[in-house]
Amino acid sequence: MRGFVGFANLPNQWHRRSVRKGFNFTAMVVGESGLGKSTLVNTLFNHKLYPKKEVPAPHMERPKTVAIESISADIEENGVRLKLTVVDTPGFADFVNNDESWKPIVDNIESRFDAYLEQENRVNRAKLTDNRVHACLYFIQPSGHALRPIDIEFMRRLHQKVNLIPVIAKSDTMTDEEIHLFKQRILADIAHHNIQIFYAPSYDVEDDETLAENEEIVRKIPFAVVGSDQQVDTIDGRRVRGRAYPWGVIEVDNEEHCDFVKLRQMLIRSHMEELKEHTHNVLYEKYRSEKLVAMGV
Ligand code: GDP
Ligand code: MG
């Protein structure tokens, strides 16, 4: 199983259609610098999209992202090819003035909508390239307190433009009890501010097993994640992706240790299609109609 990302398990029908059309997916990561965004992307796709510097000094962190940058990779699995694009955004704590640090991110999402709109308006619309952002992972600092005003501001600016998926970063730095309380607090804040996050819908699901799996995913939101692109040895002699501590190993792929598996399942295995459809049918459609009204069409 190791090294297996899982998109080859997507429903067959969708496969054929997507493979023909060019199977692509664009994810965005947002959050403060140093919260583990690049590491989690590498972990999710089991792919070094963000390679480490050649011989890094032990104290050195990865370079900060100062501008929005997008990185693409072709990943192949069981004959299915996925063109993955990750849009990495500057950490907002890096700005001297954070007041409008959400703006370049919103601009980026909108310019991708515009590019799609422009293609739709062409006479020949046979081949549309979809570079819209299909999911946005919002990294919350593992403080254990509450969402900060800047988190709320960001989420409010983003939630009607992109499928928002909140994650608690570096959750290995918190105890289970702390995570449990923090999740409740985050969900309460999100509800209080009327922020819409992506809730793995299950409208097309017929069988009970899938329905139960779905509920389990939803129960984990906001996902408490741990990322690592290192293999470490457990006390019982297994080699796993994880983070080693003096008291033991936190395993990324162990559901007892964190919600990474559930996040990956939703993003890549069970809900990739819904994320794309919701982007097209709801988020893009809203943007498009508002734009047309503003233009007086
Ligand atoms: P970014 O600035 O958000 O892209 O963060 P990076 O992925 O570059 O990670 C910043 C630092 O945090 C690196 O030293 C990582 O090894 C470390 N890190 C990444 N993910 C985790 C995690 O889940 N837990 C812990 N404890 N550290 C992490
Ligand atoms: Mg980074």
Whole-number Å distance, alpha carbon 41 to ligand 2 midpoint, is 9
d(CA 116, CA 105): 17
Model confidence at 2, in pLDDT bands (50, 70, 90)?
Answer: very low
Question: What is the ipTM score, two decimals?
Answer: 0.99
Ligand whose nearest atom lies closest to the CA of 33: 1
pLDDT, tens only, 49-76? 776 544 445 555 556 666 898 999 888 7
Q: Using an 8 Å Cβ cutoff, are 25 and 276 in contact?
A: yes
Question: How high is the pLDDT of residue 75?
Answer: 82
Overall average pLDDT of the 163-181 stretch? 97
pLDDT, tens only, 18-49? 555 557 899 999 999 899 999 999 999 887 77
Nearest CA owner, ligand 1 atom 11? 34
All residues at 6 or more sequence positions from 292 whose CB lies less than 8 Å from its CB, including other chains: none
Select the more confidently predicted residue: 140 or 102: 140
Select the more confidently predicted residue: 162 or 9: 162
pLDDT, tens only, 199-254? 988 766 678 888 888 999 999 999 999 999 899 999 999 999 999 999 899 999 99
Question: How high is the pLDDT of residue 65?
Answer: 66
Overall average pLDDT of the 88-107 stretch? 78
Overall average pLDDT of the 250-277 stretch? 93
Q: Which atom of ligand 1 is nearest to the CA of 65?
A: 2
Q: Using an 8 Å Cβ cutoff, are 135 and 163 in contact?
A: yes
Length of the chain (residues): 297
pLDDT for residue 1 is more than 50: no
CB-based pocket (< 6 A), ligand 1: 33-39, 61-62, 91, 170, 172-173, 226-227, 243
d(CA 99, CA 91): 13
| CB atoms closer than 10 angstroms to residue 53 | 9
Cis peptide before 56 (omega within 30 of 0): no
Select the more confidently predicted residue: 2 or 295: 295
All residues at 6 or more sequence positions from 266 whose CB lies less than 8 Å from its CB, including other chains: 165, 200, 217
Question: How high is the pLDDT of residue 60?
Answer: 55
Nearest CA owner, ligand 1 atom 24? 170
Whole-number Å distance, alpha carbon 62 to ligand 1 midpoint, is 9
d(CA 149, CA 143): 14
Question: How high is the pLDDT of residue 268?
Answer: 86
pLDDT, tens only, 111-151? 999 999 999 988 877 778 899 999 999 999 999 999 999 99
Whole-number Å distance, alpha carbon 91 to ligand 2 midpoint, is 8
pLDDT, tens only, 84-94? 999 998 777 65
Question: How high is the pLDDT of residue 54?
Answer: 47
Q: Using an 8 Å Cβ cutoff, are 91 and 110 in contact?
A: no
Question: How high is the pLDDT of residue 181?
Answer: 97
Nearest CA owner, ligand 1 atom 14? 61
Q: Copy the structure tokens of residue 58.
A: 């032990």
Whole-number Å distance, alpha carbon 4 to ligand 2 midpoint, is 23
Select the more confidently predicted residue: 297 or 38: 38
Q: Which atom of ligand 1 is nearest to the CA of 61?
A: 14
Q: Copy the structure tokens of residue 57.
A: 């000094």
Whole-number Å distance, alpha carbon 263 to ligand 2 midpoint, is 19
Model confidence at 82, in pLDDT bands (50, 70, 90)?
Answer: confident
